[in-house]
Amino acid sequence: MTNNLFKKYGPWAVVTGASSGIGKEFARVLAEKGFSLVLVARRKNRLDELAAELHKEHKTKTLVLTSDLSEINAPQRIYEATKCLDVGLLINNAGVERHGTFLESNIDSEEQLMRINMNAPMQLSHLFGKDMTDKGRGGVLFTSSIVATQGVGYFGNYSASKAYILSLGEALNFEFKERGVDVSVVLPGPTHTEMITNAADELDMSNLPMKFLTARRVAEESLRGLGRFTSIIPGKRNRVITFFGRHFFSRSLMSKQMGEMFKVSVSKASTSV
């Protein structure tokens, strides 16, 4: 990882979804680099535990903000709570995943997914992006997903929300760059996280061609790529598979293949429970 991460984006970083998974590892890596951290998630007890861990190991200054990003005014409240801090890095990591047959899904849950996965990072980037571009320095990192590159059956709304994040990040990379602010989008493949563990009874992912990575590796590779690449795909194997999928096959064919693969994953899990 570049040694100038703190120099470019410090002293404060905001990390959403910091209570577990990739977000938690983002916080740990940034603490090791000397950042002070605003930790955002719904579960205060987990944020407090992480804040205590980081202070003990790195003397990290932290601000814990308990927030449900599905609430309309949550991004504005986060911004207002951090106005006195010199925030140079925004990690838009929080997200939720829904899978299964679209017509059997709960529409309220799908709308909540859209507020968390799309509206919240868009609003936070608008709020913090203004301050960063005014100062002529800063960084924004979005967490999308490998499924953002085409529609994916049984993950329809989720993959669509991550496609929005990929498109938004690519656009802001162009707009913000000329004003001194770096924007990148990370597209993780399968990752060992609490989200995956919780879905194990409903989704068999053993047939996926991509390699599972640790959340720590995803966080490290993402931060290494910030400012160097518009989109970042952690894991060499995952990059190769995605490259061939995007450049040698049509979107419709990839969508069909991914849908067939996850159809099997859903049905295998259902019959094994």
Q: Return the ∠ at Cα 23 (arms to 236 and 147), rounded to 5°.
A: 50
In the residue annotation, 154 being an active-site residue is answered as: no
Which of 9, 79, 162, 164 is catalytic? The answer is 162
Q: Which amino acid is at 22?
A: I
Which of 9, 79, 158, 164 is catalytic? The answer is 158
- The distance of Cα 183 from the centroid of its chain, to the nearest Å, equals 13
Rg (CA), the chain: 18
> SS3 sequence, the chain?
CCCCHHHHHCCEEEEECCCCHHHHHHHHHHHHCCCEEEEEECCHHHHHHHHHHHHHHHCCCEEEEECCCCCCCHHHHHHHHCCCCCEEEEEECCCCCCCCCHHHCCHHHHHHHHHHHHHHHHHHHHHHHHHHHHHCCEEEEEECCHHHHCCCCCCHHHHHHHHHHHHHHHHHHHHHHCCCEEEEEECCCCEECHHHHHCCCCCCCCCCCCCCEEHHHHHHHHHHHCCCCCEECCCHHHHHHHHHHHHHCCHHHHHHHHHHHHHHHHHHHHHHC
In the residue annotation, 162 being an active-site residue is answered as: yes
C-beta of residue 126 within 8 angstroms of C-beta of residue 176 = no
The helix-helix angle for 156-177 and 120-135 (nearest 10°) equals: 10
Q: Looking at the annotation, which residues are catalytic?
A: 158, 162
